[in-house]
Structure 1
Amino acid sequence: MGAVYFSHTKDHFFSPEIGRFQMSSIQEQIQEVEDEIRKTQYNKATSHHIGRLKAKIARMRDEIEKKASAKGGGEGYSVRKSGDGTVTLVGFPSVGKSTLLNKVTGAKSEVGAYEFTTLTVVPGVLEHKGATIQFLDVPGLVKGASSGRGRGKEVISVIRNSDMVIFLLDVFQPKHYEVLMDELYQAGIRVDEVPPDVNIKRKDRGGIEINSTIDLDLDEETIKAVLDEYKIHNAHVLIRENITVDQLIDVVLGNRSYVCSLTVVNKVDLAYPQLIEECRKLYPKSIFISAHEGINIENLKDAIYDCLGFIRVYLKPQGQPADMEEPLIVMSGTNIGQICDRLHRDFRRKFRYAQIWGQSAKHPGQRVGLEHVMEDEDVLTIIIQK
């Protein structure tokens, strides 16, 4: 038998060959594997071992999430997405989320100078540059939220279904940002990332076949070790970008949520200029506001619109001129099928074809199908069955 790795906890051990822990709970197992990763020096010889350990941690966390969902674990927050995009305000308790929501949207979210004022999700609507943006104020996140502390599971479920998060920081406690990012990462939310360009197609036999279009830092042994952890023994793997082992695990799990973000520092009206400058050095791309005094709110609205990546699509009824006055506002990457869903519940079912004029068309009036992705200022005609 190969090497056995001992932890600091008495009588607990992990063997790569045996692949099991003698421990009382999944959380303890996760801690044990994390300790093992910390004490293992990273090099080419140990990379596949560390990759397997990371995959094991991700699998166990996924098990915890599934068990928590099966048990229910309390009353969840049910919020139906609406508008052209959904933004969730994320921050520690009492950083000013409710005040900002009220200032931006006119919603009635309770405001108080004490923690956990917001106990449910409070929605609001921002109308800006022709876009209707849904704003959600959720209870403040705290350290340990990804494990359920402070209604964390319910709050994170709302964030997972958002298109964008605003990290709202208190100018007096700016380092909360790292905690918030870590909690979202542990919960499977990838901030300002895109899904890795990797395709894993399972097959009945033939083992693991790996192909890539570029040079990879990951070696074949590490990739196979990660797949083996998830009992994938026969598959064709196509990799089109240089990924990390963590990104490979994300692809295998297939349940990650990808959102864009803005970092906003609040309460600048109360801070000395020197403190504000220190915060600017920490977060040079952040927006500094006072939700209470309304300072810099219009710039924030513009930044939200830009971050969501909206595009304009002009609708052209068949045989008639296009309506160039009131475009349909959709998010970048939207395809014709999604536009059909938005216009009318029967449009996708009755769809015959569409015609496109603009940047995404190979030629004016090109016929396309439901999967065609729109670009900014395209003109669109949808032809349906009568």
Structure 2
Amino acid sequence: MNQYDVTDNGYFGRYGGAYIPEILQKCVEELRINYRRIIDSEDFKNEFDALLRDYVGRPSPLYLSKNLSKLHGCKVYLKREDLNHTGAHKINNAIGQILVARRMGKKRIVAETGAGQHGVATATVCALMGMPCVVYMGALDVQRQRPNVEKMRLLGAEVVAVKSGNQTLKDACNEAIRDWCCHPEDTFYLIGSTMGPHPYPDMVARLQSVISAEIRKQLQEKEGRPTPDYLVACIGGGSNAAGTIFNFLNDDDVKIVYAEAGGKGAESGMTAATLSIGQEGVLHGFRSLIIQDNDGQIVEPYSISAGLDYPGIGPLHAHLVKTGRAQALAINDDEALAAAYELNRIDGILPALESAHALAALHRLTFKPTDIVVVTLSGRGDKDMETYLKHAPQGECPTRYEDIKNNLR
């Protein structure tokens, strides 16, 4: 066991565990006992790998962006998770978890979603496997992610708009857990990120680790070496970030950079920069860094990106930042928008707003000409078109990042 592995009781350093109501003890313990046996079995691996290849379309390309490379003075590769079936990395985890659920005899799926990408992925695999599906989504996110809501409904999912709290991802998680508590025997909670009670953070990271496994192989083919100098990923709960870094954690020369949602500024009160300002606490069944007030009450997060406005962080990521293995940068809304418009103009790729935070992080870093940088594009920007059109720069459309930021409405 190395320092980054989860312990038997579900901790990464100080973070993790399973803080759950008694009614869910049996469900969570059943999953804890079985998840590694299932996902490590040849039967599971064969079915999972076949679906990733033939249904999802993996491996996703590792694209050398000559324009970003010229701009940043190094080699910049984009790991194109946006090209997966359903348009994001979420499908990797959704397929893996529903295969686990089926092997455990579960008959019904519940899930939470913020940007809607996990909801679409869950509805997709439920349609594939013929299982009923309920997706909880904050009412505000339902409004700003309408295309994904309609996709879920077309796929046969019941989408429940949650009107409590800030009506975003945190509140969707609350309702999904309540549903699970009411139907513990036949229901499987298909969590969308590296959060929740153990074993979810570890299980999701392992299912998403296909991303970093492919990066190693693809870099070896393209550069004659399996490791980059930098890995950059956006982070909310942390599933695409975990997938990006999982197979590089013991490569100490690989620098890990997380781009979290700074919102209007990390100290503005309108932010989701958990790694920057969070304090230790318990949320949704796990101990981690949480955005909270002095009384321990959750402070509602904010981000222009529906997939990053979560007040917590996956326990693995909290551990990596607190031990210095990873660096966190709080990227503000205007920086993310400018980075999205920039990539769209210079490479013809419109990223999801979540991924745009990772692209913006490149402008905060200084690279050597010999550096190899891999940025994970976690999803595509179709779902964010209304936001992009609303904030698009006036007049002529510039291509330089600083010019775009200065021209944003």
Same fold (TM over 0.5): no
More strand by share: 1
Larger Rg: 1
The one of the two structures with greater contact order (alpha-carbon pairs below 8 A, sep at least 6) is: 2
State TM-score, norm by structure 2.
0.27
Is the helix fraction higher in 1 or 2?
Answer: 2
- Could you tell me the TM-score, scaled by structure 1's length? 0.28
